[in-house]
Amino acid sequence: MDDLSAWVGRTQRSTETLDARLVRWLAATLDRADLLDARDGMALPPAWHWAFFNPVEAMAALGRDGHPRKGGFLPPTAQPRRMWAGSRLQWLAPLKAGQAVERLSTIVKCEAKRGRTGEMVLVTVGHQFRADGQLLLDEQHDIVYRDEASEVERRALAALAEQARAGSIQFERRGEIVREVTVGPVQMFRYSAATFNGHRIHYDRDYARDVEGYPGLVVHGPLIATMLLEFLQAQVAPGRAVERFEFRALKPTFDIASFALHALRPEADGTVSLWSTNNVGAVAMQATAVVR
């Protein structure tokens, strides 16, 4: 395996104005009617900053999957498939529409591993968001690069799709509060557009199926994480502010059938356990939040 340790410590600095128009796009995508008229000065809901600071590259600079080619800021890994594996976020002050925010990104970990499905590379990027010298948000983002899908993986995913389409769903773990969710190609396209995410597995069904071996379009990991946060604020801990949030993606979820969001009621210290289950009821994303 390649030694990628030389990439650790690389930094990238960028500044962006948090355009209220993109906030309105996300509000429409997430069915937040209360924010369809968002204006400058409004505090962004948790995780809506993912609509900003996304790489803007010419078409010629994109790889086969629609992402910018690796080898600039991120290491030139050989593995072709990419997954947002998780994040850890701490808000110290709100990010606001219309605000000029600086993001300092640093590669804090870059290591090759051999897993059950082959070789993979795990990259962790730390992001610090500041405005007027004040730290607003501290985030760590885990990215996993994986080998091509094996025949074993393709057969397992095909079996999952058959089970989901037959309506054979049994929750691996059921929350005290549960919301069923259906995400279709229009909503996924809108989220890709709002976040300037060209990853083809989220909107190009032929590519997702024929090249990467998936049985349908893959629901964005950050979209599911955002839905968990929306669920948290609307049904689980309404009226309480989110201070911390972390999640880990365990299994993919597809647009072939509905899935579900789950939560336990908040503990006395404000800790909340949340998770999503995929199209057949297996735990797909595990998350923890702290609210006050």
The whole-number pLDDT of residue 4 equals 83
Q: What is the pLDDT of residues 215-242, one digit of tens each?
A: 999 999 999 999 999 999 999 999 999 9
- Classify 58 as helix, strand or coil: coil
The pair of three-digit structure tokens given for residue 129, joined into one six-digit string: 């968001």
Q: What is the pLDDT of residues 180-226, one digit of tens each?
A: 999 999 999 999 999 999 999 999 999 999 999 999 999 999 999 99
Enter the pTM of the model. Answer: 0.95
Query: Which DSSP letter does residue 9 get?
Result: T
- Classify 132 as helix, strand or coil: coil
Q: Beta partners for 263?
A: 177, 274
Whether the Cβ atoms of residue 123 and residue 145 lie closer than 8 Å to each other: yes
Task: Work out the angle between the directed axes of helices 20-29 and 185-194 (0-180°, nearest 10).
Answer: 160
The whole-number pLDDT of residue 5 equals 84
Mean pLDDT of the chain: 95
Full residue range of the structural domain in which residue 90 is found: 5-291
Whose tokens are 């701490």? That residue is 90
The whole-number pLDDT of residue 118 equals 76
Identify which of 226, 219, 222 has the alpha carbon closest to the alpha carbon of residue 189.
Answer: 219
Q: What is the pLDDT of residues 149-175, one digit of tens each?
A: 999 999 999 999 999 999 888 999 999
CATH number for 49: 3.10.129.10
The whole-number pLDDT of residue 1 equals 53
Is 71 a residue whose pLDDT tops 80? no
Q: What is the pLDDT of residues 10-69, one digit of tens each?
A: 999 999 999 999 999 999 999 999 999 999 999 999 999 999 999 999 999 999 999 998
Whether the Cβ atoms of residue 257 and residue 166 lie closer than 8 Å to each other: no
The whole-number pLDDT of residue 117 equals 66
Q: How many structural domains compose the chain?
A: 1
The whole-number pLDDT of residue 195 equals 97
